[in-house]
Amino acid sequence: MDAWSMTKDADGATPLIAVDRANFAAVADALGATVRRWCAANGFAGEAGRFVLVPDADGAAGVVLAGCDAREGVFALASLPPRLPEGRYTLDARGLALDAGDVALGWALGAYQFTRYRKPARKPAQLVIDDAVAARVEALAAAAYQVRDLVNTPTEDMGPAELAGAVRALAERHGAQYREWVGDELLAANFPTIHAVGRASHRAPRLAELTAGSAGAPHLVLVGKGVCFDTGGLDIKPSDGMRWMKKDMGGAAHAIALASLVLAAKLPVRLTLLVPAVENAIAGNAYRPGEVVTTRAGISVEVDNTDAEGRLVLCDALAYAAEHKPDLILDFATLTGAARVALGPDLPALFANRDDVAGALLEAAQATRDPLWRLPLWRPYLAMLDSHVADLANAGASRHAGAITAALYLERFVPDAQAWAHLDVYSWNDADKPGRPRGGEAQGLRAYFEFLRRRYS
């Protein structure tokens, strides 16, 4: 548990008392005059985001009063791990009645450090938890860390082969089946759009597939966009737009982490995980604006914009997923800037072709305080993707409703009878916030796992 700054060793742990402005005076009075004076000297009265460490008679840490807003749920105390002095802390019952699992998960999320390329400046403080809390949060913390680590890793060390390697490693850990199609094998196996997007890179495109579970169980397919770097192709991005495109495989990171949660929980499903992994690079053989590609589904697509590549790699994977006639297909993608313009960085945009699926996902999001926001599949907007030479264009001249038209494009590759949901996710924190350090981020992951747990348990 040290990996997530949680421990079961309570020996010498400092009591941590959560307070707010409303209950601060009563808690301070109960702790005695020394504590009241110490808090007054430090100008502390239970303000959220602040804490005061009160020494004991020997000058050692005696008790910590931490101001918080209980409405923040998981993130109520998540700012503390990198700010408190190193050591062990135990949540004290004399403070606010916070959910121990929420506190522990927030603590783990706040303690995260990406250490592949540099040593951390210090160790985060540790929270003492018991076996029951550990059972609730360890897998969730590990999954969130996996998303962050995958997204934070630069493309040189997280190219198509390495991303597919994460799927292979997951299969090996759980005794699942694994296979992949690499380079021209994609053409032979009829995955033409995955090949088209990735063919210009010196690292071959590929499709990674994991399968696990009983053939008679409900079939769940998870699909994640794995564009390991996106230059925009020949419709090249400006430098500021390209700077963080190592994160364009964030959808794949979410799908891999969610698959790991499903497998660890042994949900009674037949699981398929699909990760099309490519680089959208520029070279003499790069795919061009105006080209027409006939997709796996037999739908011809005109390339209006090479920077709308995510939907191209996803459409072949979705068509392949639909061939299995599963109970449910869920895809994840850092697909559009338009979703961020509409909803900002913290709200993933949810699209679903079934109201019951969307409703259950939103209920799970509310229960886990892991927000999602549904946007409509407004089918009249599909006309924005009309092509005069092919069945469909991958983008269009209008800048209106970009997240919706992208989702509508994907929907063309999902049969009407097939239940499906698509999540347009940012996968990134632009700045440090409590429990959400700058860099790669898991968004909607807890909500989706809770949804699946309720659906299949």
* Spatial contact of 74 and 102, defined as CB atoms under 8 Å apart: yes
**Which H or E run includes 24?**
helix 24-31
Q: In whole angstroms, what is the distance from residue 310 CA to residue 333 CA?
A: 7
Beta pairing class for 300-302 and 292-294 = antiparallel
Q: Which residues contact 264 (CB under 8 A, 6 or more apart)?
A: 139, 174
Q: What angle do CA 366, 456, 71 make, to 5 degrees?
A: 15
What type of residue sits at position 104? A
Q: In whole angstroms, what is the distance from residue 89 CA to residue 81 CA?
A: 10
Query: What are the residues facing 13 on neighbouring strands?
Result: none
> Can you read off the two tokens belonging to residue 437?
């350090």
Q: Among candidates 222, 218, 201, which has minimal Cα distance to 210?
A: 222
DSSP per residue, 243-271: TTGGGGGHHHHHHHHHHHHHHHHT-SSEE
* Spatial contact of 345 and 368, defined as CB atoms under 8 Å apart: no
Q: Which of 148, 203, 206, 311 is catalytic?
A: 311
> Can you read off the two tokens belonging to residue 48?
């959220």
> Can you read off the two tokens belonging to residue 155?
């493309």
DSSP 156: G
Residue 311: active-site member:
yes
Q: What angle do CA 168, 174, 175 make, to 5 degrees?
A: 80
DSSP 191: -
> From the CB of residue 429, how many other CB atoms can be counted at a distance below 10 Å?
18
Q: What angle do CA 182, 226, 391 make, to 5 degrees?
A: 85
Residue 237: active-site member:
yes
* Spatial contact of 247 and 164, defined as CB atoms under 8 Å apart: no
Q: Which of 83, 94, 237, 433 is catalytic?
A: 237
CA pseudo-torsion sign 261, 264, 268, 274: positive
* Beta-sheet strand order (sheet of 61-67): 6-7, 126-128, 88-91, 14-19, 61-67, 51-55
Q: In whole angstroms, what is the distance from residue 294 CA to residue 292 CA?
A: 7
Could you list the active site residues?
A: 237, 311
